[in-house]
Amino acid sequence: MTNLTDEKVARPRGAAAARTDWRWQLRRAWRSLDALRAERFPQMEITDGMREAERRFPMAVTPHYASLVRRPDFSDPIFAQCVPSPGELVSAPWASRDPLGEEPALVAPRLIRRYPDRAVLLADSICACYCRHCFRKRLSGSPDAAVSPDELAAATRWLRDNPEVSDVLVSGGDVLCLPDGRVREILDALAAVPSVRVVRVCTRLLATLPQRFTAALVRILAAPARSRSGGGGAAATTAVYVMAHFNHARELSPETLEAVRRLVDAGIPVCSQTVLLRGVNDDADSLEGLFRALYHARVRPYYLFQADLAPGTEHLRTPLATGPALMRELRARLSGPALPNFCLDPPGGGGKIELAPDSVVERRAGATLLRNGRGEEFLYPDPVEARDG
């Protein structure tokens, strides 16, 4: 294909240059504790608990993500997100391999529908790094890797038959772990459905494999071929958003900032979703640093999620009150567009529930006592008429 050629020509040569090749990064990802210690962190301690966690849940760490680690132990927010921990052996009665109840919400192969106007396509089960807090561990590392042409056809047929769904999230796994040709095929197939107006590409690779965002990929994301299968007319376009996943400011490496710049310069809006994780980012300074850096990089912080009830993640969860309390504090520190919404996906499904900071201290007759992010209190009067009622 012609647009793969210029990528090949532009690719630098030599050993150091190989690190900038995303396929090299994927190939060289460490998939065992022993390999990670032998080749990257000789001073890393490996306990029996870590070995048991490694047996239970898949592991992969890209050279890029490993390069962000400063101390190879669980006090490091990068290390703690990608290296199997003894904490993963803690079992909780509420842990579920499908904590969001996605499997009962499948309407076509790999297509989850929870809202009237939106659906999620699970494009594959491959990730560059396996996040320890992942809520789709039922998929990660499984061999039926990518959506087949037949499955894609069945999913787009369902979308054509259900035109009220106008917004399709492409998740997994991570669709951008697939080669350019498959990414293009999936985006073009979705964009060819006239009723699909928005495609959201959900990816962790901006943090774990920013080398993936080549000029060729950015071109594919910027212009899915809507008109190819006829529908929509010349003026109709499909908006593509990139929904990134960042949990710590240190994930915004120079390579990541360059990838973000390419996407945004190509007209692709980039939003970020963050998972609130104990010991990684569950303090106001960490979250402020992350959201401020994202905002400066033209990435809109969109959601801050309570961690889901997935197996092996109990040690990373926070009490439910932590998120709103942190958001209240951040409200006083950060610009409005730098503030995400704190949300929870209730166990078993039902869709996201927002938990806003509780600003109401007390409701009195004719007035409400409120508190701002700095803890100052204000009495706000109801209108005169409402008092009479």
Ligand X SMILES: *Cc1c(COP(=O)(O)O)cnc(C)c1O
Q: Which residues are known catalytic residues?
A: 114-115, 118, 127, 131, 134, 136, 308, 345, 352
Q: Are 63 and 19 in contact (CB under 8 A)?
A: yes
381: helix, strand or coil: strand
**What does each C-alpha distance from 46 to 32, 55, 69, 87, 167 come to in angstroms?**
11, 13, 16, 13, 44
Q: Which is nearer to ligand X, 65 or 305 (CB)?
A: 305
Q: Are 192 and 225 in contact (CB under 8 A)?
A: yes
Count residues binding ligand X (CB under 6 A).
7
Instruction: State the nearest-atom distance from the C-beta of 251 to ligand X, in Å.
Output: 21
Instruction: State the nearest-atom distance from the C-beta of 115 to ligand X, in Å.
Output: 5
Among the residue ranges 29-37, 108-116, 249-257, 329-337, the one whose residues contact ligand X (CB under 6 A)? 108-116
Q: Are 252 and 294 in contact (CB under 8 A)?
A: yes
Q: Which is nearer to ligand X, 90 or 106 (CB)?
A: 106
Q: Which is nearer to ligand X, 114 or 292 (CB)?
A: 114
Q: Is 112 in the site for ligand X (CB under 6 A)?
A: yes
Burial state string for 5-31 with b = 16 or more CB within 10 A and e = fewer than 16: eeeeeeeeeeeeebbebbebbbebbbe
Q: Which is nearer to ligand X, 29 or 131 (CB)?
A: 131
Q: ω before 173 within 30° of 0 (cis)?
A: yes
Among residues 27, 70, 103, 115, the one that binds ligand X under rule CB under 6 A: 115
Q: Is 118 in the site for ligand X (CB under 6 A)?
A: yes
Query: Which of these, 126, 138, 133, lies nearest to 101 by C-alpha position?
Result: 138
Q: Are 309 and 137 in contact (CB under 8 A)?
A: no
Q: Which residue blocks in 127-276 are alpha helix, DSSP H?
A: 149-161, 180-191, 205-208, 215-222, 254-265
Q: Is 352 in the site for ligand X (CB under 6 A)?
A: yes
Residues whose CB falls within 8 Å of the CB of residue 88, separated by 6 or more in sequence, listed in order = 53, 56, 57, 132, 312, 313, 315
Instruction: State the nearest-atom distance from the C-beta of 146 to ligand X, in Å.
Output: 20
Among the residue ranges 75-83, 110-118, 208-216, 380-388, the one whose residues contact ligand X (CB under 6 A)? 110-118
Q: Is 300 in the site for ligand X (CB under 6 A)?
A: no
Among the residue ranges 73-81, 113-121, 142-150, 205-213, the one whose residues contact ligand X (CB under 6 A)? 113-121
Q: Which is nearer to ligand X, 35 or 271 (CB)?
A: 271
- β-strands 239-245, 270-276: how paired? parallel
| Subset of 219-248 contacting ligand X (CB under 6 A) | none
Q: Which is nearer to ligand X, 51 or 118 (CB)?
A: 118
**What does each C-alpha distance from 224 to 91, 98, 198 come to in angstroms?**
44, 31, 11
- The mark string for 148-177 relative to ligand X (x by CB under 6 A, - otherwise) is ---------------------x--------
- β-strands 111-115, 106-108: how paired? antiparallel
Q: Is 138 in the site for ligand X (CB under 6 A)?
A: no
Instruction: State the nearest-atom distance from the C-beta of 118 to ligand X, in Å.
Output: 4
Instruction: State the nearest-atom distance from the C-beta of 112 to ligand X, in Å.
Output: 5
Instruction: State the nearest-atom distance from the C-beta of 353 to ligand X, in Å.
Output: 11
CA distance 174 to 195: 24
Residues of this chain that interact with ligand X (CB under 6 A) are 112, 114-115, 118, 120, 169, 352
